[in-house]
Structure 1
Amino acid sequence: MSDWSRRRAMWLPGGLAAAALLPAGARAAAEAWPSRPIRMIIPFPPGGTTDLMGRLLAERLSAKLGQPVVVENRGGAGGNIGADAVAKSAPDGYTVVMCSIGTAAINYAAYGANMPYKPQDLAAVGLAVRVPNLVLASRASGLDSFEAMLKAAREAPGRLNYGTSGIGGSPHACMELVKARTGIDITHVPYRGSGPMLTELVAGRIQTAMDNIPSALNFVREGQIRALAVTSRERVKLLPDVPTLAECGLADFDATAWFGLQAAAATPAPIVAKLGAAMDEVVRSAEWAERVGAFAAQPPGLTPQGGTTPEAFAEFIAAEITRWAEVARAGNISVQ
C-alpha cells in the first residue's frame, strides 16, 4: 500500500481501516477511548457564541461518550492561544478545541507569519453549528437603522467606531465586507471576546458593533442595544423585524459564522472517527436543532443526512480558508 493510500484509508468511515493499520497497542487504546474526562478548550472568554455553543455541545457529547467533557475557557489573540494549546497537546483525543471560523480559517490570513499553528496541525472532527451575525448599535448612539449608520459614517469619516469579539473573527471580517461594499470609513475596536464587547456597547462606550446572534440576542430582545441588520441571506425568525443587509442595499450579501470541533493532528484516526460519530449523532438530532434554533443558529448540514463527519468538515475548512483569505486581502485584515 502506498503512503497516500495508507493515509486515505485512515479516514474511512467508522475508522475500521485505520484500526487495522494501527499497532495492537494503539488499537487497544483507541478501542478503550474515552476512559477518562475530555477537556474542551474554548478559545474565547465566557459569554460569547463560541462559549455558548461549546457548552451545549460538551453536555451532549458527555452523554454520548460516557465521560465528562469539561470546558476550559482560554482566550486571547483572536482565539489563537486556545487553539494553539490544542494543536500542541498530546494527540490522544482527550483535549479538543471548540474552533470558530476565526481560529480555523480567517486567522491564517489575518495573522500571517504570526500564526502559532498551521492548518495541518489540527484534525477536523465535525461542524457543530452555523450562525448569522448582526450589525448592532448602542442606544446612546441614536442610530436606529442601517441606513442611519451609513449616513453618520459618511458625514464624518473615521469618527464612528464598531466593536467586535476580536481581530480576524467573522464579525470583523463581515464588517470589513460591509465597509468594502459601502465605502464607509469606521474604526475597528477589537475586544477579547463578545462578552466584554457587548458590555461596552450596552454602556454606550462604543457606538456600533458586529456580533454573532447567540451572544447578542438577549441584549437585543431586552432593548439594551439595537439590531440594525442581519448578515444572512434571509431574515431570522427570532428577529423578524430586522432586515437583511441585502434588503438594506447590499445585494446578495450572505455571510455566516460557524463553530466546530478539532483535535491535535496526530490523534489516531479511530479516535477522531469515534468522536466524530458521536458528534454527528448530536447535531443530527431534533433536540439539537431545537436547542440551537433558540439562538437563531442552524445545524451543520454537511452531509446528505444533515450532519457532519471529519472528512466533510476537513473539506469545508479548506474551502473556508481560501474564501476568507480573499476577504482578508480585500479588507486589509491583518495582525502583523
Structure 2
Amino acid sequence: MIEDDFLNGYRSKNHMISEGYAYAISADWYRQFQRYLKNPSGVDALRFNKILNFNIIERVIDKSPSLKQYSIPPFKQINYEHIYGLSQDAKPIIDFFVVSIDVWHYFKKHYTSDYDIIVFVTKQHPQMQKYFLCDNLDEGLCICRDVINVLFIIVFPRNYDNLQAIITPLCPWMDLIKFRTFIFSMYNLGIDTIKFSNEAFLYYNNKKVPFRGNRTLNEVEINLDIQIVMACQNLKMQDFEEEIEIDFEEQQQLKNLQNKQEFLEKLEKALCEEATIKQNIKSISEIQQSLEQNDFFQI
C-alpha cells in the first residue's frame, strides 16, 4: 500500500454521516489514526494494528428463534447471526468515535476488525431521551441511544429449507424505509428486494404489519425487545390482528374529509345562531314599533 494512494483514498470517502446508520470505532485506535494523518511520514500505516472494538460492544444474550405459532412446515436449519450495537456505558470521544459507512468500510478493508458496531442516525424526536451529537453529522440529525434488541427472522418466499435469523439492535425512531435499507444492507437476501419490500409483512405480538410506508417503528409498536418474522407468504397465526396501512394520499383524503365535515358542522351551527339572532332582532323591532304607536295591547 503506497501512503499517498492510501491517504487519497481515505480523503475521497464520504465522511458526513447521513440518516440511517453508521459505525462506532474504538477511540484508542482512532486517535492513533488521527496522529498518523497529522504526520504521515512519521508512521507506517501498514503497521497499524487491527481495530479492536471489543470494549465498546453491547453484550447480547442469544435468543432461540421460535416459529411454533406460525403455519410453517418443518424447516431444515436457521442461519443465525449477530449485529452488534454500542455499549450503553461507552462514552463519545472518550471510548469511541462515530464514522460514516464509507469510512468504516475503508478502514476495515485495510486493517480488519474484531467487531462491526452499528449506531443509529435519526432526526431528533421530542420523545427521544438518549442521544448525542458529533461533528460529522448532517444537519438536524443525532445518534440515537434509545435502542431495542430485536430477533429478526426472514422467511423466504416459497422456501422454508433455509431461514435467516438476525439478532440486531434497532432504534424505535427510525422509519420502516430506513429499517428496510438497514436489514437489506446487513444481509444479502439473494432475492428481488424491491418485490420483497412491497409484498412482505412483519408478524409480531399477534399483529401483521405491511413492510412498507413511512411510519416509525415506534408508531407500529416496535419499541421493546421483541421477535419479528418477515415473510412474503401469508402466514397464519392464532388470533392475529391485521393492521391495514393507509398511504399518504388516502391519509390526505381522509383528513380533507374530516376537515370538510368539521367545517359543515360549524357552518350549520353558525347559520342556526344567525337565524335565532335575526328572529330576536325582529321581535325587538316589533316591540319598539308597538311602543311608538302606544299600542300596548299589541305588545
> TM-score scaled to structure 1, two decimals?
0.26
Q: Which has the higher helix share?
A: 1
Q: Per chain length, whose mean CA-contact separation is higher, i.e. which structure has more relative contact order (CA < 8 Å, sep 6+)? A: 1
Which of structures 1 and 2 has the bigger CA Rg? Answer: 2
